[in-house]
Structure 1
Amino acid sequence: MALEKTWRWFGKKDTVLLADLKQMGIKGVVTSLHHLPAGEIWPVEEIKAVRKKIECYGMHWSVVESLPVAEGIKIGSPDRDRLIENYQISLRNLGACGVDTVCYNFMPVLDWVRTDLHFKNRDGGESMLFDYPTLAAFDIYILEREGADESYPPAIRQKAGQIIATLTREQQEELAYNIIIVTQAFVHGVVGEGKNYKKQFLDYLKTYADIGKEQLRMNLSYFLNEVVPVAENAGVKLCIHPDDPPFPLLGLPRIAGTAEDFQWIWEQNKSLTNGMTFCTGSLSGRQDNDLVKMAEEFASRIHFIHLRNTTFLPNNSFYESGHLKGGVDMYKIVKILLEEQIRRKKVGREDIRMPFRPDHGIKILDDYTRIANPGYPLIGRLKGLAEMEGLQMGIERFLNE
C-alpha cells in the first residue's frame, strides 16, 4: 500500500499529455477547470467532460487543484454570500461527479511568490529562488507601494537599495512582470495582461489596507463554516494549501503558514472534512517550521500531499532544491504519511487513499526544449516522482518486515 501517485495537469494547454501520464504510471490526475474565473459555478457538464477525458486513459480525477476562492470572499465584500453560494454549488457538482478532494488556498492577491524563475544550481539545472531583499527592492522602488519602507528592517532596506542600483529598466520590468503576471497566469491570477498591470496590482493590494491577520482569519472562519458542511454532505474533502512563502509580504497578511495557524483553522470547524494540503515546499519556507512535528500532529487531516524540497539562504531567502536534497527530512515525513495510511485502514476510515504529487521540479535535459509553466518541467518532476517512489518502496518494505 502506498501514497497515490498523481500529477498536476493543466488541461489542453499543457504540453504534457494524458497519454504521457499513463506511460509514467500515474494513477490520479490533479487538475482544474482553468478557463473559469474564480467565483463562477462549475457546471456538471464541464466537470464530467474533464473526468471522462481522464478516464479514457485509465486514470481518474484524483484532486481538484484548485477550486479558487474569489477575492470577494477573502476580503468579505458585499457579494461574499453570493460567491460562497456559487462555491457551495460547485462542491455539490463535484461530489455528484465523483470528484472527492478539493485543494484551495486563502492567500490574498498572490498565490505564490518567487523573485527568480531561472535560478541555476551547481549541476546546471534550473529552479526558482525567493530572495527577500530583491522582493523588498521590487516593493519599495518598482511598485512604490505606500508604506513599503516600513515593512522591512534596515539591513534589508539597505540591500534592496544596492540591488535596485544594479538593475536596468528592462530587468526591473522583468522582475515585476514575473512576480505579478508570469507566476499567476496559470493559477487564476487576479491581474491580467496590459500596460497598467502594476497599477491594477497596487489597487488589489489596497483592498487589504484595513484587513490584518485577525480580520482575514475571521473571513476564513466565515467561509469554512459555510462550505465545510456542504462539502461533507457532498462527500468532498477540503484541503487548504499553505501560504507560499508562509510569512507576510507586500503588506499582505498570511494565515496558513505555521502550526499555530493550522491549529486555529481546525478549531473553526472540527469536521475532518476541514483538512490540509501538506506542502513540504511551502511550509519549509519558514526556518522555524518543524515539518516532521507538523506531519505527526496533523496527519489525520492531511488529504493531499505536495512533496518537494528547499534550501535556505541568508536574509530569509530560499531556493527550490529538488525533492530529496534540502532542508526537509523527506524520509521521516514520508514514513509518517505511510504510517498514517496504515492507521486509517486499521480504524476503519474510508479515506485511505492519500494522493501525493511531485511538486515543482528542477529543469533538466529536454526540459529546456519544452514549454511549461514556471516550476513544472516534465523531466525534473519525473525525476522527483521516481525518487519519491523509490523512497516509499524502501519505507514500506521496512514497515512490513
Structure 2
Amino acid sequence: MRMVFRWFGTGNDTVTLPQIRQIPGVEGIVWALHHLPAGEEWPQEEIEKIKNQADAFGFHLDVVESVNIHDDIKLGLPSRDLYIDRYIRTIRKLAAVGVKTICYNFMPIFDWVRTDLHKRMEDGSTAMFLDKQALEGIQPEELIRRINENPAFSMPGWEPERLAHISQMFEAYRGMTADRLRDNLRYFLERVIPVAEECDIRMAIHPDDPPWPLFGLPRIVNSRDSIRRILKLVDSPYNGLTLCTGSLSANRGEDIVGMIHEFADRIPFVHIRNIKVYDNGDFIETSHRMRDGTVDICGVVKALHDIQFKGYARPDHGRQIWDEHCRPGYGLYDRAMGIMYLWGIWDSLEQTRGSGSQ
C-alpha cells in the first residue's frame, strides 16, 4: 500500500508540503489543476510547475484527482469528441511527468453532496453531514449556496462558474436515464482506454457520493453490480475503480471487503474513509477509528493486505479538529491521525504475517 495525501496547491490549501512531509509513510501528493474548468486541456507548463514543487520535497505525482469530464461527454452531445480529444492530450502530458493513475467521476451536474459542511459532533469537532430527508426537500440553488458559502475554500466539484448555469444544465439532462449515461461512459472509455494503455496510466472511476439518484439525475456507480457492469464496458486493467469506502458504505449492506477481493486487479486507488450511517439514511463523516463509524475499516485494510495491494491509498475526508481553519474535510490534523491509524493496522498485519512465516 502506497500512502498519498490530497493537496490542492500553493495558495489554495491551508496544508503545506513541508507539513505533509512530516506525516510518516506519505510518499506522494494527490493533485490536480483545480482552477481549470472541466473540458480544458491542461497546459504542460502548469503541470511541470506542480512537479517541481513536489520534487522539492521528495513527493511523486503518480495520482491525479481529478481530470474532470465535461458535461457534453456525459450528455453524449456531438461536441463530446472535441472534449475527449482534449482529455486524451492531457493524458499524454500527464504521462510525461510520471502520472500512473487518474481518478475521475461520471456524476451528472453535481459531484459529491452534503447538506452541512460543519455539523457539530459531541466532542466539539465538526464534520460533513448528509441529511437525507432534507436533501429530498431542498432546491438545487440552495444546496449550491450552502456548499459555496465560504469563498475562501472552493470545494472540488462545486465550481461556482459552472453551477451558475444550473437551470440550463438541468434542462440539458432532462430525460437522461442510467442506461443512456452508461452508454455515454462506454463511448468515453472506448476512446480513452487505448491511450491510457499506451501511456501506462490507469483510469479509476470514483463511486457516486451519495450512491443514489439526486434531483432526478441518474447515478451509475453506486453498488457492486453497477461496478461490475462498468468494468466490463471496456475489459482492460486500465479501466479501473477508485474504491471509496465512504461513498459505497452509505448504501448499507454493500460488502466493501468483498469488493476489494473481487475487483483486486482493477483497483489502482483507494479512498479510506469512515462514516456513521443512521437508520434513516443520514450519515456523517467520523474519525478513521473503526468503532466511531459504520465502515469496517479494519476489514478493509486487512483485505488490502490480503491481496498484497500495491496501489495508492489516501485518508479521505477528515473532521475539523483543534480549531483548524481549513477546507471542510481536508484539514491536516484528522487526516494525519487517520494515516497513522491505517498504518497501525497495516503494521500489525505485517507483524502477524512475519511471525506466522517463522
- TM-score, normalised to structure 1's length? 0.83
Paired residues for 1:382-393 under 5 Å: 382-393=336-347
Conserved in 2, the CA contact under 8 Å of 1:358 and 1:384? Answer: yes
CA distance in 2, matches of 1:399, 1:221: 41
Q: 1:281 aligns with which of 237, 242, 246?
A: 246
| C-alpha displacement of 1:186 | 3.4
Which residue in 1 is equivalent to 2:293? 326
Tell me if structure 2 keeps the 8 A contact 1:257–1:283. yes
Quick check: 1:20 aligned with 2:19?
Answer: yes
> In structure 2, the residue corresponding to 1:11 is in which secondary structure?
coil
Q: Is the 8 A contact 1:216 1:255 kept in 2?
A: yes
- RMSD, matched Cα: 1.9
Whether the 8 Å contact between 2:117 and 2:147 is mirrored in structure 1 is no
Q: Give 2:322's match in structure 1, choosing from 365, 371, 379.
A: 365
Q: Quote the offset at 1:176 in angstroms.
A: 4.6
Change (3 A) 1:237 1:136: same
Contact 2:120 2:127 in 1 (8 A): yes
Q: Conserved in 2, the CA contact under 8 Å of 1:181 and 1:189?
A: no
Contact 1:84 1:227 in 2 (8 A): yes
Task: Say whether the 8 Å CA contact 1:6–1:62 is kept in structure 2.
Answer: no
Aligned to 1:192: 161
Letter in 2 for 1:177: R
Residue 15 of structure 2 contacts residue 332 of structure 2 at CA under 8 Å; is this kept in 1?
yes
1:10 corresponds to 2:11: no
After TM superposition, give the deviation of residue 339 of structure 1 in Å. 2.1
Q: How does 1:225-240 map to 2 (within 5 A)?
A: 225-240=190-205
Q: 1:109 and 2:109 equivalent?
A: yes
Q: Distance in 2 between matches of 1:113 and 1:288?
A: 21
- Equivalent-residue separation in structure 1 for 2:89 and 2:294 (angstroms): 41
Are 1:292 and 2:257 matched, yes or no?
A: yes
Q: How many matched pairs?
A: 350
Distance (Å, rounded) in 2 between the aligned partners of 1:15 and 1:361: 14
Please say if 1:75 is aligned against 2:57. no
Give the gaps of 5 or more residues in structure 1.
144-172, 343-351
Of stretches 386-395 and 272-281 in structure 1, the one that deviates more from structure 2 is 386-395
Which one has the largest radius of gyration?
1
In the alignment, the residues of structure 2 paired with residue 202 and residue 374 of structure 1 have an alpha-carbon distance, to the nearest angstrom, of 27
Distance in 2 between residues matched to 1:341 and 1:182, nearest whole Å: 41
What percentage of residue pairs aligned between the two structures are identical?
41
Match of residue 339 from structure 1: 306
Q: 1:218 aligns with which of 171, 183, 191?
A: 183
Aligned runs of 1:2-401 on 2, under 5 Å?
Answer: 3-12=1-10, 13-25=12-24, 26-139=26-139, 176-179=144-147, 185-192=154-161, 197=164, 200-324=165-289, 325-341=292-308, 352=310, 354-367=311-324, 370=325, 372-401=326-355
Deviations 1:256-283 (A, max 9, x none): 1101111001111111011111110111
1:210, distance to aligned residue in structure 2 (A): 1.6
By percentage of residues, which structure has more helix?
1
Unaligned runs of 5+ in 2: none
Alpha-carbon distance in 1 for matches of 2:104, 2:352: 34
Distance verdict in 2 for CA 1:123–1:71, change over 3 Å:
same
Check conservation: 1:34, 1:188, Cα contact below 8 A.
no
* 8 Å contact from structure 1 (residues 115, 178) kept in 2: yes
